[in-house]
C-alpha cells in the first residue's frame, strides 16, 4: 500500500510551540507543499514566506466559539483519515475533499500553563486542547498514508527524509512518527487527568500531595543503561511526567565527566541526593557518603568550616565502606575538596556546582562521574515514590522529618543539652535513610556507627555499637521506630551513649524511660516513625 504513495502534496500545520518554524517553512517551500493553517501559525508561516490556505476558507466553515472550533470539520478529518484505496478516494471526490498527507501539530501548553504561579482552574481548563489531539490521533491512526510530526526537533529529520526520497515519506518514518504521536497525546492526557484529580468539584486545589483513585505515569527515556542491577538485566532511565513540579531530580543533572551512569549508580545517587537535601536546611555545611543505598558516613559543619574538612569527616566515619561510594555535598566543590575526593576511589560525586580548579583536579579520575545539579536545594513538592509488587504498583509521597529534635518531647529526668539536640537531629535524619531496623550513632556532628537492615532492633543497636567502637562513648543514638524493650537502651548505655531520639509509642515506653533514667541518659520522643523498607 505505502510503496506507491505519491510525494507529499498537502500539509496541515497548527502549532502552539513555534520554535524552529523557519526550518519547517523552508521544507514546505522547497517541496511545494500546499499548506492549510489557522490563527497564529498561519501568520507565522506567512511571515516565513509560505503561501497558506486558511482552514476556514478551505472548509467553508468559520472559526467559532472564540476559536474552540477551527479544525473539527469533515473536510479536515476526511482528508486525514482517508485510506489510499478506490472507495475512500471516491468518497473524497464526491464530497469535494482532498487528501492531507502531512500533519504538523503540537498542543496547547497545558503543562506549562499549570506550572505558572497563580494559574487559575479556569485558565487550566481553557488550555486543554481538543482539536489538536484529535488531529494528532487521526493522523497517527492513518500512518500507512499520513505522516504526523509533533516535535519541532523532528523538522530537520523530516526535511532530510523528504530530500532523500524525492518528496515521499517512507513507511518506516511514518510509523516512527505515529509511535511518537500517540506517546505525546498519552502524556498530555495523563497530565490533564492528574491535574483534575488534584482539584475538587469546585475547582479548588485538593493538595499536590493527594493521591487519586487512578495513577497515570508517563516517561521519556533519558538514556538506555548498559544493564540493570546485574549484567543480564536490561534497563533504562525515564524522566517521568509527574516529577515536573517536584524538587529537581537526577533527570536535570549535568554530568561533567566519567562513564555513563549505571542503574545502581542512579539508585545510590538518588539516595545520596535525598539525604543531603534533608541535611542542608538544618546545617551550614554537610556531606554524605552512600554505598548500596545505605549511608556509610555523614557529617555537618559550621558555616566557616572548609567543605573539604566536612567531607573528610563524613568519609572517615566509615572509610572502608566509602571505597567505591557515592558522595553528595551541600556547596560548590573547591580545589581543596577536590583533592580530598580524588584520594579515594569513588563512583559519583553530586554537588550544586564545581569550581574550574576543582574540575581540573577531578579530571585526573577519568571514570569518576561528576553530577552538577544547580537547583538541587530549590523547593518543590515531595517526590512521588513508586515501587512495583506482583500484580501492581505502590505509590507514596517521600517521607519527611517534620519534628526536629529540639521540638520533640523530652522524656525522663535529664533533658538533652543543646549540643546533644544538634547531634540527635543529625542522627534521626541519617536514620531515615537507613534500611529498617535502623540505628544511627552521632558524635560531634559526625556519624560514628550505623546499623541497618536487621530483623531485630537490638541487633541493629549491636551492629552500630560494633562499628562505633570507642567512639560510642559520649555519642547520641537515633532509632527509626520505637524500642519494644529496654534491652537496646541497656546496651547503648553500656557503650557510653548519652542521649536517644525515637518516635515513642510502645506499650513499654515507661519501661524504656525508666531505663534511660537509671543510666542518666536523655531521651527525646518525636512521635514520628521513619521506616525505610
Q: What is the pLDDT of residues 405-421, one digit of tens each?
A: 999 999 999 999 999 99
Output the CA torsion 333→338→344→348 (10° steps): 40
pLDDT of residue 86 exceeding 90: no
Give the pLDDT mean for 220-241. 89
Whole-angstrom Cα distance, residue 161 to residue 169? 7
Least confident range from 22-26, 62-66, 301-305, 467-471: namely 62-66
- Shared fold status for 2-197 and 405-525: no
pLDDT of residue 393 exceeding 90: no
Task: Give pLDDT tens digits for 328-347.
Answer: 999 999 999 999 999 999 99
- How open is the CA angle 193-198-200, to the nearest 5 degrees? 105
Per the annotation, the verdict on 141 as an active-site residue is yes
- Mapped to the 3 state alphabet, what secondary structure does 116-133 carry? CCCCCHHHHHHCCCCHHH
Share of the chain above pLDDT 70, in %: 97
Task: Give pLDDT tens digits for 474-485.
Answer: 999 999 999 999
Per-residue pLDDT at 198: 77
Nearest Cα to Cα of residue 141 among 188, 169, 175: 175
Binned at pLDDT 50, 70 and 90, residue 516 comes out as very high
Least confident range from 237-251, 266-280, 349-363: namely 237-251
Question: Catalytic one among 18, 54, 180, 292?
Answer: 292
Binned at pLDDT 50, 70 and 90, residue 232 comes out as very high
* Element (DSSP H or E) covering residue 235: strand 235-240
Total length of the chain: 533
Per-residue pLDDT at 295: 95
Binned at pLDDT 50, 70 and 90, residue 197 comes out as confident
Of residues 372 and 106, which shows the higher confidence score?
A: 372
Per-residue pLDDT at 130: 83
- Helix axis angle for 74-81 and 131-141, nearest 10°, is 30
Map grid coordinates 558522595 to a residue.
327
- Where do the structural domains in the chain lie, given as residue ranges? 2-197, 250-397, 405-525
Cell of 339: 583533592
Whole-angstrom Cα distance, residue 491 to residue 462? 8
Whole-angstrom Cα distance, residue 162 to residue 171? 12
b or e along 257-277 (b: 16 or more beta carbons within 10 Å of the residue's beta carbon)? ebeebbbbbbbbbbbbbbbbb
Question: Catalytic one among 18, 54, 88, 141?
Answer: 141
Whole-angstrom Cα distance, residue 361 to residue 352? 17
Burial (CB < 10 A; 0-12, 13-18, 19+), residue 393, is exposed
Nearest Cα to Cα of residue 100 among 50, 35, 171, 15: 35
pLDDT of residue 149 exceeding 90: yes
Per-residue pLDDT at 29: 92
Binned at pLDDT 50, 70 and 90, residue 1 comes out as very low
Map grid coordinates 558516613 to a residue.
297
Give the pLDDT mean for 151-157. 92
Give the pLDDT mean for 223-247. 86
Q: For 405-525, which CATH class?
A: alpha beta
pLDDT of residue 201 exceeding 70: no
Task: Give pLDDT tens digits for 279-318.
Answer: 999 889 999 999 999 999 999 999 999 999 999 999 999 9
Whole-angstrom Cα distance, residue 267 to residue 239? 14
CB 322 within 8 A of CB 297: yes
Map grid coordinates 579530571 to a residue.
363
CATH architecture, domain defined by 2-197: 3-Layer(aba) Sandwich (3.40)
Binned at pLDDT 50, 70 and 90, residue 206 comes out as low
Whole-angstrom Cα distance, residue 530 to residue 433? 9
Per-residue pLDDT at 2: 43
Write the CATH number of the domain with boundaries 250-397.
Answer: 3.40.140.20
Task: Give pLDDT tens digits for 356-383.
Answer: 999 999 999 999 999 999 989 987 778 8
Amino acid at each position: 500500500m505505502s510503496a506507491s504513495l505519491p510525494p507529499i502534496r498537502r500539509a496541515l500545520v497548527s502549532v502552539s510551540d513555534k520554535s524552529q518554524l523557519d526550518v519547517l517553512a523552508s521544507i514546505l517551500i522547497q517541496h511545494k507543499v500546499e499548506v492549510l493553517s489557522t490563527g497564529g501559525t498561519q501568520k507565522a508561516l506567512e511571515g516565513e514566506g509560505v503561501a497558506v490556505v486558511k482552514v476556514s476558507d478551505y472548509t467553508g466553515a468559520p472559526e467559532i466559539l472564540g476559536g474552540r472550533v477551527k479544525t473539527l470539520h469533515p473536510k479536515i478529518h476526511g482528508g486525514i483519515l482517508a485510506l489510499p484505496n478506490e472507495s475512500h478516494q471516491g468518497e473524497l471526490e464526491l464530497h469535494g475533499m482532498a487528501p492531507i498527507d502531512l500533519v504538523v501539530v503540537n498542543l496547547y501548553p497545558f503543562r506549562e500553563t499549570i506550572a505558572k504561579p497563580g494559574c487559575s482552574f479556569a485558565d487550566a481548563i481553557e488550555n486543554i486542547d481538543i482539536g489538536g489531539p484529535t488531529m494528532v490521533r487521526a493522523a497517527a491512526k492513518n500512518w500507512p498514508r499520513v505522516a504526523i510530526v509533533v516535535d519541532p526537533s523532528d523538522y530537520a529529520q523530516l526535511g532530510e527524509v523528504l530530500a532523500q526520497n524525492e518528496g515521499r515519506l517512507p513507511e518506516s518514518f511514518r510509523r516512527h512518527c505515529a509511535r511518537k504521536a500517540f506517546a505525546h497525546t498519552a502524556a498530555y492526557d495523563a497530565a490533564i487527568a492528574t491535574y483534575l484529580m488534584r482539584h475538587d468539584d469546585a475547582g479548588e486545589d485538593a493538595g499536590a500531595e493527594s493521591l487519586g483513585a487512578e495513577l497515570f505515569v508517563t516517561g521519556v527515556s533519558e538514556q538506555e543503561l548498559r544493564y540493570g542491577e546485574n549484567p543480564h538485566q536490561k534497563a533504562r532511565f525515564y524522566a517521568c511526567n509527574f516529577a515536573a513540579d517536584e524538587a529537581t531530580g537526577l533527570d536535570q543533572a549535568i554530568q561533567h565527566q566519567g562513564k555513563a551512569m549505571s542503574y545502581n549508580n542512579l539508585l545510590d545517587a538518588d539516595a545520596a541526593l535525598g539525604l543531603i537535601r534533608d541535611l542542608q536546611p538544618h546545617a551550614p555545611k554537610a556531606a554524605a557518603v552512600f554505598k548500596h543505598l545505605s549511608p556509610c558516613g555523614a557529617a555537618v559543619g559550621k558555616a566557616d568550616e572548609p567543605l573539604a574538612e566536612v567531607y573528610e569527616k563524613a568519609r572517615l566515619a566509615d572509610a572502608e565502606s566509602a571505597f567505591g561510594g557515592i558522595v553528595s555535598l551541600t556547596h560548590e566543590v573547591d580545589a581543596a575538596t577536590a583533592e580530598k575526593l580524588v584520594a579515594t576511589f569513588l563512583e559519583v560525586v553530586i554537588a550544586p556546582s564545581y569550581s574550574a580548579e576543582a574540575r581540573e583536579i577531578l579530571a585526573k579520575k577519568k571514570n569518576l562521574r561528576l553530577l552538577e545539579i544547580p537547583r538541587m536545594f530549590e523547593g518543590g513538592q515531595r517526590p512521588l515514590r513508586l515501587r512495583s509488587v506482583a500484580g501492581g504498583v505502590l505509590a507514596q509521597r517521600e517521607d519527611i522529618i517534620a519534628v526536629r529534635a529540639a521540638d520533640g518531647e523530652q522524656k525522663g529526668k535529664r533533658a538533652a543539652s543543646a549540643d546533644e539536640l544538634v547531634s540527635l537531629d543529625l542522627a534521626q535524619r541519617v536514620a531515615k535513610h537507613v534500611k529498617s531496623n535502623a540505628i544511627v550513632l552521632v558524635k560531634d556532628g559526625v556519624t560514628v556507627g550505623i546499623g541497618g537492615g536487621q530483623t531485630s532492633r537490638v541487633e541493629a543497636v549491636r551492629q552500630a555499637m560494633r562499628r562505633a567502637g570507642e567512639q560510642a562513648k559520649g555519642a547520641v543514638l537515633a532509632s527509626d521506630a520505637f524500642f519494644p524493650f529496654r534491652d537496646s537502651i541497656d546496651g547503648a548505655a553500656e557503650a557510653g551513649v548519652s542521649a536517644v531520639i525515637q518516635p515513642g509509642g510502645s506499650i513499654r515506653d515507661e519501661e524504656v524511660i525508666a531505663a534511660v533514667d537509671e543510666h542518666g541518659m536523655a531521651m527525646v520522643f518525636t512521635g514520628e516513625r521513619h521506616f525505610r523498607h
